[in-house]
Amino acid sequence: MMKTIKQTSLILMLCIVLNACSSDNTNQEFGDLEINFTNLVGENNLELNTETYAKNGNETYSVSELKYIISNIVLTDTEGNQFVYPQGDSYFLINEAIPQSQNIKLENINANTYTSITIGFGVDQSKYPLNGVDNFVPTAEDQGMLWAWSAGYKFLKFEGIYTSSNVTDKPFLFHIGSHGQNLDNYREITLNFLQPLALSPSKTPEVNINFDVQKIFNADFDLLLSDKDDIQIDPENAPKIVDNITKAFEIVLN
Q: Are 122 and 175 in contact (CB under 8 A)?
A: no
- CA-nearest of 67, 142, 144, 75 to 98 is 67
Judged by beta carbon, residue 232 or residue 246, the one nearer other proteins is: 232
Q: How far apart are CA 98 and CA 115, in angstroms?
A: 29
**Least separation in angstroms between CB 13 and other proteins:** 5
Judged by beta carbon, residue 37 or residue 136, the one nearer other proteins is: 136
- CA-nearest of 187, 195, 188 to 252 is 195
Judged by beta carbon, residue 42 or residue 144, the one nearer other proteins is: 144
**Least separation in angstroms between CB 156 and other proteins:** 16
**Least separation in angstroms between CB 126 and other proteins:** 10
Judged by beta carbon, residue 171 or residue 180, the one nearer other proteins is: 180
Measured in degrees and rounded to the nearest 5, phi and psi for residue 218 equal: -155, 90
**Least separation in angstroms between CB 132 and other proteins:** 7
Positions touching other proteins (CB under 8 A) are: 6, 10, 13-14, 16-17, 19-21, 23, 25-28, 125, 128-130, 132, 134-138, 141-142, 146, 148-152, 179-183, 232-235, 238
* 147 CB burial (10 A radius; 0-12, 13-18, 19+): middle
**Least separation in angstroms between CB 118 and other proteins:** 24
Write out the DSSP string of 151-199.
--B-SEEEEEEEE-SS-SSEEEEEEE--BTTTB---EEEEEEEEEEEEE
DSSP single-letter state for residue 111:
P
Judged by beta carbon, residue 112 or residue 164, the one nearer other proteins is: 112
